Chain A
Protein backbone atom coordinates (compact mmCIF):
# COMPACT_ATOMS: atom_id res chain seq x y z
CA UNK A 1 0.00 0.00 0.00
CA UNK A 2 1.32 3.41 -0.91
CA UNK A 3 1.18 5.72 2.12
CA UNK A 4 -0.86 8.91 1.91
CA UNK A 5 2.15 11.13 2.54
CA UNK A 6 3.76 10.05 -0.72
CA UNK A 7 0.80 11.32 -2.69
CA UNK A 8 0.87 14.56 -0.74
CA UNK A 9 4.57 15.03 -1.40
CA UNK A 10 4.08 14.50 -5.12
CA UNK A 11 1.15 16.92 -5.10
CA UNK A 12 3.25 19.47 -3.19
CA UNK A 13 5.99 19.18 -5.78
CA UNK A 14 3.56 19.61 -8.68
CA UNK A 15 1.95 22.58 -6.96
CA UNK A 16 5.29 24.28 -6.34
CA UNK A 17 6.33 23.69 -9.95
CA UNK A 18 3.06 25.20 -11.09
CA UNK A 19 3.46 28.14 -8.73
CA UNK A 20 6.94 28.83 -10.02
CA UNK A 21 5.75 28.54 -13.59
CA UNK A 22 2.79 30.85 -13.03
CA UNK A 23 4.93 33.47 -11.27
CA UNK A 24 8.17 33.39 -13.17
CA UNK A 25 7.32 32.68 -16.79
CA UNK A 26 7.11 35.53 -19.22
CA UNK A 27 4.75 33.94 -21.70
CA UNK A 28 1.05 34.01 -20.88
CA UNK A 29 0.49 30.46 -22.18
CA UNK A 30 3.34 29.18 -20.01
CA UNK A 31 1.68 30.85 -17.03
CA UNK A 32 -1.54 29.05 -17.90
CA UNK A 33 0.35 25.77 -17.99
CA UNK A 34 1.57 26.49 -14.47
CA UNK A 35 -1.99 27.05 -13.36
CA UNK A 36 -3.01 23.72 -14.89
CA UNK A 37 -0.23 22.02 -12.93
CA UNK A 38 -1.53 23.58 -9.72
CA UNK A 39 -5.06 22.40 -10.46
CA UNK A 40 -3.74 18.89 -11.03
CA UNK A 41 -1.89 18.96 -7.73
CA UNK A 42 -5.04 20.03 -5.91
CA UNK A 43 -6.93 17.22 -7.61
CA UNK A 44 -4.39 14.63 -6.52
CA UNK A 45 -4.83 15.83 -2.95
CA UNK A 46 -8.61 15.61 -3.17
CA UNK A 47 -8.56 12.08 -4.50
CA UNK A 48 -5.85 10.94 -2.10
CA UNK A 49 -7.85 12.20 0.87
CA UNK A 50 -10.96 10.56 -0.55
CA UNK A 51 -9.17 7.23 -0.81
CA UNK A 52 -7.72 7.43 2.70
CA UNK A 53 -10.75 9.03 4.28
CA UNK A 54 -13.54 7.62 6.43
CA UNK A 55 -14.83 5.24 3.83
CA UNK A 56 -14.07 5.56 0.15
CA UNK A 57 -17.12 3.49 -0.60
CA UNK A 58 -19.41 5.55 1.60
CA UNK A 59 -18.50 9.09 0.71
CA UNK A 60 -17.65 10.00 -2.85
CA UNK A 61 -17.26 13.74 -2.28
CA UNK A 62 -13.55 13.86 -3.05
CA UNK A 63 -13.84 12.03 -6.31
CA UNK A 64 -16.98 13.87 -7.38
CA UNK A 65 -15.37 17.25 -6.83
CA UNK A 66 -12.21 16.16 -8.59
CA UNK A 67 -14.28 15.36 -11.69
CA UNK A 68 -16.08 18.71 -11.36
CA UNK A 69 -12.70 20.46 -11.13
CA UNK A 70 -11.58 18.73 -14.30
CA UNK A 71 -14.62 20.15 -16.05
CA UNK A 72 -13.91 23.54 -14.54
CA UNK A 73 -10.30 23.38 -15.73
CA UNK A 74 -11.51 22.73 -19.25
CA UNK A 75 -13.73 25.82 -19.18
CA UNK A 76 -10.94 27.88 -17.62
CA UNK A 77 -8.40 26.79 -20.23
CA UNK A 78 -10.84 27.49 -23.07
CA UNK A 79 -11.62 31.02 -21.90
CA UNK A 80 -8.04 31.76 -20.83
CA UNK A 81 -6.57 30.74 -24.15
CA UNK A 82 -9.30 32.61 -26.02
CA UNK A 83 -8.36 35.73 -24.04
CA UNK A 84 -4.69 35.18 -24.87
CA UNK A 85 -5.51 34.84 -28.55
CA UNK A 86 -7.65 37.98 -28.45
CA UNK A 87 -4.85 39.91 -26.72
CA UNK A 88 -2.35 38.59 -29.23
CA UNK A 89 -4.51 39.81 -32.07
CA UNK A 90 -4.63 43.31 -30.61
CA UNK A 91 -1.06 43.68 -29.39
CA UNK A 92 0.87 41.05 -31.41
CA UNK A 93 2.47 39.82 -28.21
CA UNK A 94 1.60 37.59 -25.29
CA UNK A 95 4.61 38.57 -23.21
CA UNK A 96 3.10 39.63 -19.91
CA UNK A 97 5.96 42.07 -19.27
CA UNK A 98 4.91 44.03 -22.32
CA UNK A 99 1.18 43.92 -21.57
CA UNK A 100 1.24 46.93 -19.30
CA UNK A 101 -1.44 49.22 -20.68
CA UNK A 102 -3.13 49.31 -17.29
CA UNK A 103 -0.01 50.37 -15.38
CA UNK A 104 0.01 54.06 -14.64
Chain B
Protein backbone atom coordinates (compact mmCIF):
# COMPACT_ATOMS: atom_id res chain seq x y z
CA UNK B 1 0.00 0.00 0.00
CA UNK B 2 1.36 3.37 -0.95
CA UNK B 3 1.99 5.71 1.91
CA UNK B 4 0.05 8.93 2.04
CA UNK B 5 1.99 11.82 0.61
CA UNK B 6 3.25 14.25 3.15
CA UNK B 7 6.19 16.43 3.88
CA UNK B 8 6.57 15.30 7.42
CA UNK B 9 6.11 12.22 9.52
CA UNK B 10 4.71 13.92 12.58
CA UNK B 11 1.21 12.53 12.27
CA UNK B 12 1.05 9.35 14.24
CA UNK B 13 -1.21 6.54 13.13
CA UNK B 14 -2.97 5.07 16.11
CA UNK B 15 -3.97 1.42 16.04
CA UNK B 16 -7.70 1.01 16.10
CA UNK B 17 -10.07 -1.91 16.22
CA UNK B 18 -10.36 -3.78 12.96
CA UNK B 19 -13.39 -2.98 10.89
CA UNK B 20 -13.84 -3.00 7.18
CA UNK B 21 -13.00 0.66 7.10
CA UNK B 22 -9.50 0.03 8.33
CA UNK B 23 -8.52 -0.83 4.79
CA UNK B 24 -8.76 2.85 4.14
CA UNK B 25 -5.96 4.75 5.70
CA UNK B 26 -6.72 8.29 6.74
CA UNK B 27 -5.29 10.76 9.13
CA UNK B 28 -6.47 10.46 12.70
CA UNK B 29 -8.30 13.39 14.12
CA UNK B 30 -6.23 15.80 16.10
CA UNK B 31 -8.17 17.24 18.95
CA UNK B 32 -6.64 20.61 19.06
CA UNK B 33 -8.15 21.86 15.84
CA UNK B 34 -11.71 22.18 17.00
CA UNK B 35 -13.10 24.81 19.24
CA UNK B 36 -13.88 22.06 21.71
CA UNK B 37 -11.61 19.14 22.29
CA UNK B 38 -12.91 15.70 21.37
CA UNK B 39 -12.76 14.36 24.91
CA UNK B 40 -14.93 17.21 26.01
CA UNK B 41 -17.37 16.53 23.22
CA UNK B 42 -17.69 12.88 24.11
CA UNK B 43 -18.18 13.76 27.72
CA UNK B 44 -20.72 16.49 27.83
CA UNK B 45 -22.88 16.53 24.74
CA UNK B 46 -25.80 14.67 26.17
CA UNK B 47 -26.40 12.22 23.39
CA UNK B 48 -24.76 14.09 20.55
CA UNK B 49 -22.09 12.11 18.81
CA UNK B 50 -18.84 13.87 17.99
CA UNK B 51 -19.91 14.52 14.42
CA UNK B 52 -23.30 15.89 15.45
CA UNK B 53 -21.79 18.28 17.95
CA UNK B 54 -19.56 19.69 15.21
CA UNK B 55 -22.59 20.37 13.08
CA UNK B 56 -24.42 21.73 16.09
CA UNK B 57 -21.79 24.44 16.06
CA UNK B 58 -22.62 25.07 12.41
CA UNK B 59 -26.30 25.27 13.31
CA UNK B 60 -25.68 27.75 16.13
CA UNK B 61 -23.42 29.78 13.91
CA UNK B 62 -25.92 29.85 11.05
CA UNK B 63 -28.56 31.08 13.47
CA UNK B 64 -26.33 33.90 14.64
CA UNK B 65 -25.15 34.62 11.09
CA UNK B 66 -28.77 35.29 10.15
CA UNK B 67 -29.76 37.13 13.34
CA UNK B 68 -26.91 39.65 13.39
CA UNK B 69 -27.35 41.00 9.81
CA UNK B 70 -31.11 41.07 10.36
CA UNK B 71 -30.67 43.09 13.52
CA UNK B 72 -28.38 45.50 11.67
CA UNK B 73 -30.97 45.93 8.92
CA UNK B 74 -33.82 46.38 11.39
CA UNK B 75 -31.76 48.94 13.30
CA UNK B 76 -31.11 50.82 10.09
CA UNK B 77 -34.81 50.61 9.27
CA UNK B 78 -35.76 52.31 12.51
CA UNK B 79 -32.90 54.79 12.68
CA UNK B 80 -33.33 56.10 9.18
CA UNK B 81 -36.11 58.45 8.03
CA UNK B 82 -39.23 57.02 6.43
CA UNK B 83 -40.69 59.36 3.89
CA UNK B 84 -41.70 57.24 0.92
CA UNK B 85 -43.03 59.03 -2.11
CA UNK B 86 -43.95 58.12 -5.61
CA UNK B 87 -40.75 59.18 -7.33
CA UNK B 88 -38.47 57.75 -4.67
CA UNK B 89 -40.05 54.35 -4.67
CA UNK B 90 -40.13 54.18 -8.43
CA UNK B 91 -37.77 51.87 -10.22
CA UNK B 92 -34.40 53.41 -10.96
CA UNK B 93 -33.68 53.55 -14.65
CA UNK B 94 -31.34 56.50 -14.93
CA UNK B 95 -34.14 59.04 -14.82
CA UNK B 96 -36.07 57.53 -17.71
CA UNK B 97 -39.54 56.29 -16.95
CA UNK B 98 -39.95 52.56 -16.98
CA UNK B 99 -41.43 51.12 -20.12
CA UNK B 100 -43.08 47.74 -20.24
CA UNK B 101 -42.88 44.75 -17.96
CA UNK B 102 -39.83 44.34 -15.81
CA UNK B 103 -39.64 40.64 -16.15
CA UNK B 104 -38.69 40.71 -19.79
CA UNK B 105 -37.52 37.66 -21.63
CA UNK B 106 -33.89 36.73 -21.43
CA UNK B 107 -31.82 34.61 -23.71
CA UNK B 108 -31.35 30.92 -22.99
CA UNK B 109 -27.60 31.48 -23.00
CA UNK B 110 -27.66 31.93 -19.22
CA UNK B 111 -29.45 28.62 -18.87
CA UNK B 112 -26.81 26.90 -21.01
CA UNK B 113 -24.05 28.11 -18.72
CA UNK B 114 -26.03 26.83 -15.75
CA UNK B 115 -26.47 23.49 -17.51
CA UNK B 116 -22.79 22.95 -18.19
CA UNK B 117 -22.06 24.07 -14.65
CA UNK B 118 -24.46 21.53 -13.16
CA UNK B 119 -22.88 18.62 -14.98
CA UNK B 120 -19.35 19.62 -14.03
CA UNK B 121 -20.41 20.33 -10.47
CA UNK B 122 -21.75 16.80 -10.10
CA UNK B 123 -18.63 15.38 -11.69
CA UNK B 124 -16.36 17.27 -9.28
CA UNK B 125 -18.52 16.19 -6.37
CA UNK B 126 -18.01 12.53 -7.24
CA UNK B 127 -14.29 13.03 -7.67
CA UNK B 128 -13.83 14.37 -4.14
CA UNK B 129 -14.31 11.14 -2.14
CA UNK B 130 -12.33 9.27 -4.77
CA UNK B 131 -9.52 11.79 -4.31
CA UNK B 132 -9.60 11.21 -0.56
CA UNK B 133 -9.28 7.46 -1.10
CA UNK B 134 -6.90 7.80 -4.02
CA UNK B 135 -3.78 6.53 -2.23
CA UNK B 136 -5.44 3.17 -1.63
CA UNK B 137 -6.98 2.59 -5.05
CA UNK B 138 -5.94 -0.24 -7.31
CA UNK B 139 -5.13 0.26 -10.98
CA UNK B 140 -8.59 -0.81 -12.11
CA UNK B 141 -10.20 1.84 -9.95
CA UNK B 142 -7.79 4.45 -11.24
CA UNK B 143 -8.74 3.60 -14.83
CA UNK B 144 -12.43 3.77 -13.91
CA UNK B 145 -11.89 7.25 -12.48
CA UNK B 146 -9.97 8.45 -15.51
CA UNK B 147 -12.65 7.02 -17.79
CA UNK B 148 -15.29 8.93 -15.81
CA UNK B 149 -13.36 12.15 -16.27
CA UNK B 150 -12.81 11.49 -19.97
CA UNK B 151 -16.56 11.03 -20.52
CA UNK B 152 -17.09 14.54 -19.24
CA UNK B 153 -14.22 15.83 -21.35
CA UNK B 154 -16.06 14.47 -24.39
CA UNK B 155 -19.12 16.42 -23.32
CA UNK B 156 -17.10 19.60 -22.93
CA UNK B 157 -15.48 19.14 -26.35
CA UNK B 158 -18.88 18.50 -27.93
CA UNK B 159 -20.33 21.67 -26.46
CA UNK B 160 -17.24 23.56 -27.53
CA UNK B 161 -17.65 22.34 -31.11
CA UNK B 162 -21.35 23.10 -31.13
CA UNK B 163 -20.71 26.59 -29.83
CA UNK B 164 -22.67 26.25 -26.61
CA UNK B 165 -19.79 27.87 -24.76
CA UNK B 166 -19.78 30.92 -27.00
CA UNK B 167 -21.27 34.05 -25.57
CA UNK B 168 -23.33 35.60 -28.33
Contact = CB atoms under 8 A, between A and B. Distances in A.
Given A1-B47, A85-B108, A85-B111, A74 B122 contact: yes
A99 interface: no
B125 interface: yes
A102 interface: no
A87 to B, nearest CB: 13
Contact of B126 (A71, A78, A81, A82): A71
A36 to B, nearest CB: 13
Interface stretch (B58-66, B71-79, B113-121): B113-121
B122 A71 contact: yes
B132 to A, nearest CB: 13
Contacts of B108: 85, 89
A78 B21 contact: no
Given A67-B126, A71-B125, A85-B111, A78 B119 contact: yes
A81 B126 CA distance: 23
The 4 closest A-B pairs by CB, nearest first: A74-B122, A71-B122, A78-B118, A78-B115
Contact of B119 (A57, A58, A70, A74): A74
Given A1-B47, A71-B126, A81-B111, A57 B118 contact: no
A16 B15 CA distance: 47
B21 A57 contact: yes
B126 A74 contact: no
A31 B20 CA distance: 42
29 contacts: A1-B47, A57-B19, A57-B20, A57-B21, A58-B19, A58-B20, A67-B125, A67-B126, A70-B122, A70-B125, A71-B122, A71-B125, A71-B126, A74-B118, A74-B119, A74-B121, A74-B122, A75-B119, A75-B122, A77-B118, A78-B115, A78-B118, A78-B119, A81-B111, A82-B111, A82-B115, A85-B108, A85-B111, A89-B108
